[in-house]
Amino acid sequence: MRTIGTIILLLMSINLYAQNLAECGLNDNSELTQTESKFLNGYMNSEQRKGFDFTGKKVLFITGKRGEGIGNKSKYFDYVKEWDKSGNKIATWVVELNDDEKELIEKTDYDVIVTYWVKHLSKRRKRIILNELKTNI
């Protein structure tokens, strides 16, 4: 009886996970929906999130081997959905910012940078990205 209950709970959680993911990335608005926030808070482990809570946040997505491209929310979630089909996760991280960088990114209307498919985001590349944002303020 206990085993059946465990199996039912597992199946229900898998179904909820799939439903939540299906509702993610439906637009490119940088502000995450409640569903997207909840999904990312669960999708990334604590090391990847660095303690960050995505609830109600605006995200700048960065992609490319060395972080050379500005991504977008719908493409990010398209990758997540595609890899999820085979039970895998994409390479994704929250980028830690120092106080000056946090102040700059807040002026750009973003709360955090999330990378995907980035092998290494150097301090120099991060500075270039933030300076590009600064010139567009």
- The residue assigned the tokens 């955090």 is 112
Residues forming beta bridges with residue 115, ordered by sequence position? 62, 93
pLDDT for the residue 2: 58
Q: What is the pTM of this model?
A: 0.81
Q: What is the pLDDT along the chain (137 residues), one digit of tens a residue?
A: 556 555 444 444 444 444 589 999 999 999 999 999 999 999 998 889 988 999 999 999 999 999 999 999 999 999 999 999 999 999 999 998 888 888 877 777 788 999 999 998 888 898 888 888 777 76
**What one-character-per-residue DSSP string does the chain give?**
-HHHHHHHHHHHHHHHHHHHHHTS-SS--SBPPHHHHHHHHHHS-HHHHTT---TT-BEEEEESTTS-EE--HHHHHHHHHHHHTTT----EEEEP--HHHHHHHHHTT-SEEEEES-S---HHHHHHHHHHHHHT-
Please tell me the total count of domains within the chain: 1
pLDDT for the residue 43: 93
pLDDT for the residue 102: 80
User: Whole-angstrom Cα distance, residue 61 to residue 137?
Assistant: 17
pLDDT for the residue 41: 93
Q: How many CA atoms lie within 13 A of 91 on its CB side?
A: 11
Structural domain harbouring 41: 2-135
pLDDT for the residue 104: 78
Residue 102 phi, psi (nearest 5): -65, -45
Contacts of 34 (CB under 8 A, 6+ apart): 55
